[in-house]
Structure 1
Amino acid sequence: MPLRNLTKEQYTAATYDDNLLLTACPGSGKTKTLVAKIAHKLQSYDLRKKILVAITYTNIAADTIIDRLDAFSIPSDNLWVGTIHSFCLEWIIKPYRGHSARTCKGYRLLDQYEYQEILDSIRAELKLKSYDKINTKLNSDGTIQTIGLSPESIRAAALYHSHLSTHKLIDFDLILSTAAEILNSHPSIGHRLSHLFDSIFIDEYQDTNQTQYDIMREILKHGNTKVCLIGDVDQAIYTGLGAVVKNGIEICKEFSLKTIKEMTLSGCFRSKQQIIDFYSEFQDNSITIRSLQNNNFPSETLSYDRITTRDDLPNSISKIVQKHLSLGVSPNEIAILHPQWYEVTSIGRAISKILPNIPFDAPGLSPIPHCHENIWYKLIRLHNIKTSNKNYNRRARLASEILLDLQEISVSMNENLNARSLLKASNKIIIDEPDIIGYIQSLTQTFCSALNISIENHRELLEQYESLVKSTEKRINKDGIDRDPSNISKYFNESTGIKITTCHSTKGDEYEVVICAGLLEGKIPHWDEIIRKSPSYSAYMARRLLYVISSRAKSALYLFSEKGIYTTTRNEYTPTKQLSIAASKLKL
């Protein structure tokens, strides 16, 4: 059934069972092909105890793959899906944490708010400005980066890592470097994993950085595991953060592969030709993409607005939204994008006040920050995912994951406690609290009572709880988010409203109507991609993100380079140059 309704190209890729580099243009059915490939492997091959690993770009992408497999009623016992950070934690750091000096005596993950708090404290101590950059990434050998950085920045990075070491903390970058260190210093671990994993599928491979390549190499070089890399080089939006785009020859060399088959998915089933012609202006290698979209949309639009001011932006966007809703477009087929999170939050609040009766799906408006590895966040998520036949497998997997987390930190539990009983306990819990902090406290206490667990007796549980509460409080105060927990469940369930998010996080999504603001020099490309960078590099980074933004749209694309935004020196932001060039060429 998963192979039904595939094109010839998709079918060939889905049934090919060896090393594969699959290039896929926007809307060519990449996710559909990946799911079919995994499903075919699960159904048609005797994997025994071997595991298929799918590395996704986001947690949402991982959920999408699992949900589609569930829809096919395909058992996923031999499948693991998640982000590269989750992979490193699950398969390398947690089981082998004793092999690293950084994790052998315990560790806790740093969330973004605690990360920012530490940096703010260091800036105050060293009398640095808020815009003074502190590079907290380490070199591959674990030393602090110094090239092109000021003595103050180097000193700040040293203080940051000293703080992390003292308090047994690791940040997201250290998840990768710690995993790489464990594999490099203990080759037998990579060899062991190579016998466990039948295949590794890497989605959005163009945004893989060298440390991630190093991690995969230590597993793949033994020749026991097949690899499939899927992506589009024109959507490489993280090269500024170290992502490295490699061709087939380079991948073979990197992973010590004898050979790798290269295939392509052509044709776009998503967008109308007008949209395709526009985003093709941002390609580096000119490839003709033909629209295979036959749907009749109520409105087809390509618009570029350079006149609207920042103050009028919410009203202008609201009018576009109302127009398409009146034409019958579903709210979950509309996306509002911006390159910066704090602007996403601001725009989201403003538009939701103008359109109070319209549903919105805005993760940035959730009072609880996304701390996917925090056990209390997982319990909150479990409690809020709606109970239904459709969601049962997802909830059961999450319950099993929570129980494993508790076991790993040596929490004693009733021997009869299993995923099913945890689900039943969650279903019985009713929390009536007017404030989100009180909600977290009550839900946590109720879960602990049901599981007969005392937080105070387990340092890691207490630290994770305090971290989540503190981060939630900071998020509310910093972003002005509502403290009311009554609608919290909407942030943990399937999207039912207009999506409001960042340009980067929308990669892989598709919408009938896409509205994007903030298309300004200094935002796209970001100042970090302009200052001390060559003009060609800045232009490259701008084209990559413009390509991703524009290729999300099926039929209507509205772009804004709003006026009235100024730098700290009172210079007004100007429209993104690459967008202006394309708009002028196409007479927008």
Structure 2
Amino acid sequence: MVFVWNKDDLNDEQVDAVEHDGSVFLIACPGSGKTRALTYKIALELSRLESDRHWIVAITYTHRAAEEIEEGIERLGVDTERLWIGTIHSFCLDWILRPYAIYHNKLRFGFRVADQHETERRLEKLCQGRHPRIRPFDCNYYFSSRGCQLEAPNPARRDQILRVLEEYWACLEAERMIDFEMILNCAYELIANEPSISILLSSIFKFVLVDEFQDTREIQYAILAAILRAGAGRTRTFLVGDPNQAIYGSLGGYAMTRDDFAALCGLELAHKSLSINYRSSSRIVEYFSNYHLLAANVRAEGKDRDYASLVSFDEETTHQNVEDEIVRLIRYNCEQLGIAAHEICVVGPRWIQLAALTRRLMSALPEYSFDGPGMAPFARDQDNFWFKVARIALTEPSPQLYVRRTRWAGEILAELCHAGIRVSGLSKRELLRCCNSIQIDQDDGLAFLRLFFDKFCLAVGFELTDSAALVEHYETFFARSEAQIARLEEAGIQGVSTIGVFRRVFASRTGITISTIHGVKGAEFDTVIAFAMLEGMVPHFADPEGGASAKKLLYVVCSRPRKNLHLIAETGRLDGRRLPYRTTDILSDCVFDYDALLEIA
């Protein structure tokens, strides 16, 4: 039965995009319901599948987005059995590398993926040994179809950095390993050298949908376009995103134009747009529209459209007093404006500043809870097998979490299979039942997880030592978790090792969010407080795009709030040369009738 929705579920723009019979290139402004449109489009195409051998594929930028969309489809009553949804790296592993590894010289005898910790450890060892002038973060890189690209190229040290990377790659190859970035490169090499792979995949995929296309890398476009091109019109696509929010340029992400992508994949792409913002007040929309890089007509139509928003810009607070000012703004929004604490977000450009800020805010505001960087008491490595098990261990069975926990169970079974553990007779639901039956009375979080993991192995029917990869992931998970707890306790944060704190990591948002600009993308809050809006930070001093990047970053920050926005460009913060930062040029040049700080005293 073809999926049919209620008349009021979608607006006319969304219906136009979702019901279009061919391929679509959809530009969606902030708060326009693009996730809803994508969810309904996937549901519609799933309901139209006529063969059990056909699949719908959806590429998302984050695991969280994939979970949100799949849960939305399940709530619509549409079967997701023929849906594959996840990140591009997961797609390449599941559909290209693992099935066709035999055709790649580096993968043909088997491979495993090095997690972030393993990559950092190996690069650190190389730098400390033979290349002391190179720091591990100098070696951050990604691949394009033309080869290796350095994330922050330093012309004076480029050759040295590449030598470090060549040694690093050689070490991985000797141990039959690939890292996160090599997943894409190996997938591209297979697609480029074995055209039959694209032909076969295009015969299986009826639709390939891409969320947040503006954050897609050139090599990712090339992989997807090869499959679409091989389909010769039989495989269609639905791309959705916002070029004004393309803030991952340093990682190689960019917004390809409709014409360029159409030419690359050999398809006609209908241009559609979503221009109604359901999130923010008219005043917030008016303000963030100042930072359009590409022209866009955005209008507010949501329930908060007429809210009397406060939009403030502070260039007077000093670096030494910025935390006091953030505390004042939090109290004012909560106590005077009635904003719930979990609907407030504090945004800054760098994680290192935010981790310290979070701990100090916790001391200054003990009556509030915080969700911030470095606050999780264990390693949050999405690619670590035992992190995947911990998600199920630390969440309670409930109807609200059933779809998500079932998805996690599927990921665990797939990883066990790849690790050589026999699980052919175990379904996702049966694995969940095994996990739900494990009862442990233990207040210490790490002790709880150690016991849970032991009982998990026993319930599934394998020994931890049956797989070297699982042993390595186990040791890495606990080593990093112990170090994380020690750091938090040294910072004066008490009780972080308790099971209650561990369970809060996967609970719904309960406290004030602390996030980077990149981390807050896709989220929304009643109030956003942004600090360090300074030239050299927004944008980063090494960003070659300069003003264009600053506009995109400010556009993302200023389009997150529904109701209130507070921007701070504190004085007296010094750069690496001990010179004071100044306000971000794009921000200081913006002419707007800001609310005076005295009004929110």
TM-based fold match above 0.5:
yes
Taking the aligned partners of 2:193 and 2:450, their CA distance within structure 1 comes to: 42
| Equivalent residue number for residue 505 of structure 2 | 491
CA RMSD of aligned residues (A): 2.6
For residues 382-436 of structure 1, the C-alpha deviation after alignment (integer angstroms, 9 at most, x for no partner) is: 11223111211221222132122212322135x6533233212212334455655
Q: Does residue 133 in structure 1 map to residue 138 in structure 2?
A: yes
Taking the aligned partners of 1:111 and 1:299, their CA distance within structure 2 comes to: 47
| Equivalent residue number for residue 166 of structure 2 | 158
Question: Structure 1 stretch 14-23 or stretch 349-358: which is displaced more?
Answer: 349-358
Over 3 Å counting, the alpha-carbon distance change for 1:142 and 1:386 in structure 2 is same
| Equivalent residue number for residue 355 of structure 1 | 365
| Equivalent residue number for residue 428 of structure 2 | 419
The answer on whether the counterparts of 2:216 and 2:255 sit within 8 Å (CA) in structure 1 is: yes
1:509 Cα shift?
1.6
Q: Does residue 4 in structure 1 map to residue 18 in structure 2?
A: no
Taking the aligned partners of 2:428 and 2:94, their CA distance within structure 1 comes to: 18
The answer on whether the counterparts of 1:113 and 1:474 sit within 8 Å (CA) in structure 2 is: no
- 3-state SS in 2 of match to 1:558: strand
| Equivalent residue number for residue 311 of structure 2 | 302
For residues 53-100 of structure 1, the C-alpha deviation after alignment (integer angstroms, 9 at most, x for no partner) is: 111121111121122222223221121221111211222222223332
Q: In structure 1, give the amino acid aligned to 2:126.
A: I
Taking the aligned partners of 1:277 and 1:495, their CA distance within structure 2 comes to: 28
Taking the aligned partners of 2:260 and 2:168, their CA distance within structure 1 comes to: 35
Over 3 Å counting, the alpha-carbon distance change for 1:428 and 1:269 in structure 2 is same
Q: In structure 1, give the amino acid aligned to 2:104.
A: S
1:566 Cα shift?
2.0
1:235 Cα shift?
0.8
Over 3 Å counting, the alpha-carbon distance change for 1:324 and 1:585 in structure 2 is closer
The answer on whether the counterparts of 1:136 and 1:157 sit within 8 Å (CA) in structure 2 is: no
Question: Structure 1 stretch 548-557 or stretch 356-365: which is displaced more?
Answer: 356-365
Q: Does residue 517 in structure 1 map to residue 525 in structure 2?
A: no
Over 3 Å counting, the alpha-carbon distance change for 1:84 and 1:402 in structure 2 is same
- 1:325 pairs with one of 319, 324, 334: 334
Taking the aligned partners of 2:185 and 2:486, their CA distance within structure 1 comes to: 32
Taking the aligned partners of 2:435 and 2:320, their CA distance within structure 1 comes to: 44
Q: In structure 2, give the amino acid aligned to 1:273.
A: S
- 3-state SS in 1 of match to 2:552: helix
The answer on whether the counterparts of 2:377 and 2:501 sit within 8 Å (CA) in structure 1 is: no
For residues 485-535 of structure 1, the C-alpha deviation after alignment (integer angstroms, 9 at most, x for no partner) is: 431122223323332222112222221111112212222111221xxx3xx
For residues 143-182 of structure 1, the C-alpha deviation after alignment (integer angstroms, 9 at most, x for no partner) is: 6879945332222222222232234332221111111112
For residues 178-225 of structure 1, the C-alpha deviation after alignment (integer angstroms, 9 at most, x for no partner) is: 111122222211211111111011111111111001110221112231
Over 3 Å counting, the alpha-carbon distance change for 1:284 and 1:484 in structure 2 is same
Aligned pairs (5 A) from 1:507-586: 507-529=521-543, 533=544, 537-582=545-590
Q: In structure 2, give the amino acid aligned to 1:140.
A: S
Q: Does residue 71 in structure 1 map to residue 75 in structure 2?
A: yes
Taking the aligned partners of 1:17 and 1:247, their CA distance within structure 2 comes to: 21
Q: Does residue 193 in structure 1 map to residue 201 in structure 2?
A: yes
- 3-state SS in 2 of match to 1:348: helix
Aligned pairs (5 A) from 1:393-404: 393-404=403-414
For residues 288-346 of structure 1, the C-alpha deviation after alignment (integer angstroms, 9 at most, x for no partner) is: 32221343787621011223334433332233223222333233322222221222222
| Equivalent residue number for residue 258 of structure 2 | 248
- 1:344 pairs with one of 341, 354, 363: 354
Taking the aligned partners of 1:426 and 1:54, their CA distance within structure 2 comes to: 29
1:33 Cα shift?
1.2
Over 3 Å counting, the alpha-carbon distance change for 1:47 and 1:386 in structure 2 is farther
Taking the aligned partners of 1:164 and 1:139, their CA distance within structure 2 comes to: 20
For residues 230-260 of structure 1, the C-alpha deviation after alignment (integer angstroms, 9 at most, x for no partner) is: 1111111122322232222211111122x11
- Count residues with an aligned counterpart: 580
Aligned pairs (5 A) from 1:30-109: 30-46=34-50, 48-109=52-113
Structure 2 length as normaliser, TM-score? 0.89
Taking the aligned partners of 2:330 and 2:468, their CA distance within structure 1 comes to: 48
| Equivalent residue number for residue 452 of structure 2 | 443
Aligned pairs (5 A) from 1:221-300: 221-222=229-230, 223=232, 224-257=234-267, 259-295=268-304, 300=309
Over 3 Å counting, the alpha-carbon distance change for 1:587 and 1:322 in structure 2 is closer
Q: Does residue 452 in structure 1 map to residue 466 in structure 2?
A: no
Taking the aligned partners of 2:292 and 2:419, their CA distance within structure 1 comes to: 49
The answer on whether the counterparts of 1:20 and 1:227 sit within 8 Å (CA) in structure 2 is: yes
- 3-state SS in 2 of match to 1:95: helix
Taking the aligned partners of 1:311 and 1:435, their CA distance within structure 2 comes to: 37
Question: Structure 1 stretch 541-550 or stretch 468-477: which is displaced more?
Answer: 468-477
Taking the aligned partners of 1:135 and 1:425, their CA distance within structure 2 comes to: 40
The answer on whether the counterparts of 2:218 and 2:252 sit within 8 Å (CA) in structure 1 is: yes
The answer on whether the counterparts of 2:134 and 2:160 sit within 8 Å (CA) in structure 1 is: no
Q: In structure 2, give the amino acid aligned to 1:305.
A: D
- 3-state SS in 2 of match to 1:202: strand
Taking the aligned partners of 1:474 and 1:212, their CA distance within structure 2 comes to: 35
Which runs of 5 or more residues in structure 1 are unaligned?
none
| Equivalent residue number for residue 19 of structure 1 | 23
Over 3 Å counting, the alpha-carbon distance change for 1:322 and 1:386 in structure 2 is farther
| Equivalent residue number for residue 387 of structure 1 | 397
The answer on whether the counterparts of 1:3 and 1:11 sit within 8 Å (CA) in structure 2 is: no
Structure 1 length as normaliser, TM-score? 0.91
The answer on whether the counterparts of 1:374 and 1:464 sit within 8 Å (CA) in structure 2 is: yes
The answer on whether the counterparts of 1:525 and 1:541 sit within 8 Å (CA) in structure 2 is: yes
Q: In structure 2, give the amino acid aligned to 1:34.
A: L
The answer on whether the counterparts of 2:124 and 2:136 sit within 8 Å (CA) in structure 1 is: no
- 3-state SS in 2 of match to 1:286: coil
| Equivalent residue number for residue 472 of structure 2 | 463
Q: In structure 2, give the amino acid aligned to 1:523.
A: M
| Equivalent residue number for residue 599 of structure 2 | none
The answer on whether the counterparts of 1:193 and 1:219 sit within 8 Å (CA) in structure 2 is: yes
Q: In structure 1, give the amino acid aligned to 2:520.
A: T
Taking the aligned partners of 1:342 and 1:4, their CA distance within structure 2 comes to: 47
Q: In structure 1, give the amino acid aligned to 2:503.
A: S
Over 3 Å counting, the alpha-carbon distance change for 1:587 and 1:361 in structure 2 is closer
- 3-state SS in 1 of match to 2:478: helix
| Equivalent residue number for residue 409 of structure 1 | 419
- 3-state SS in 1 of match to 2:338: coil
Over 3 Å counting, the alpha-carbon distance change for 1:309 and 1:367 in structure 2 is farther
- 3-state SS in 1 of match to 2:142: coil
Q: In structure 2, give the amino acid aligned to 1:556.
A: N
- 3-state SS in 2 of match to 1:514: strand
- 3-state SS in 1 of match to 2:318: coil
Question: Structure 1 stretch 209-218 or stretch 81-90: which is displaced more?
Answer: 81-90
- 3-state SS in 1 of match to 2:546: helix
Taking the aligned partners of 2:567 and 2:154, their CA distance within structure 1 comes to: 37
Q: Does residue 314 in structure 1 map to residue 328 in structure 2?
A: no
Taking the aligned partners of 2:429 and 2:49, their CA distance within structure 1 comes to: 29
The answer on whether the counterparts of 1:55 and 1:84 sit within 8 Å (CA) in structure 2 is: yes
Q: Does residue 502 in structure 1 map to residue 516 in structure 2?
A: yes
Q: Does residue 117 in structure 1 map to residue 116 in structure 2?
A: no
Taking the aligned partners of 1:319 and 1:309, their CA distance within structure 2 comes to: 14
The answer on whether the counterparts of 2:120 and 2:136 sit within 8 Å (CA) in structure 1 is: no
The answer on whether the counterparts of 1:297 and 1:555 sit within 8 Å (CA) in structure 2 is: no
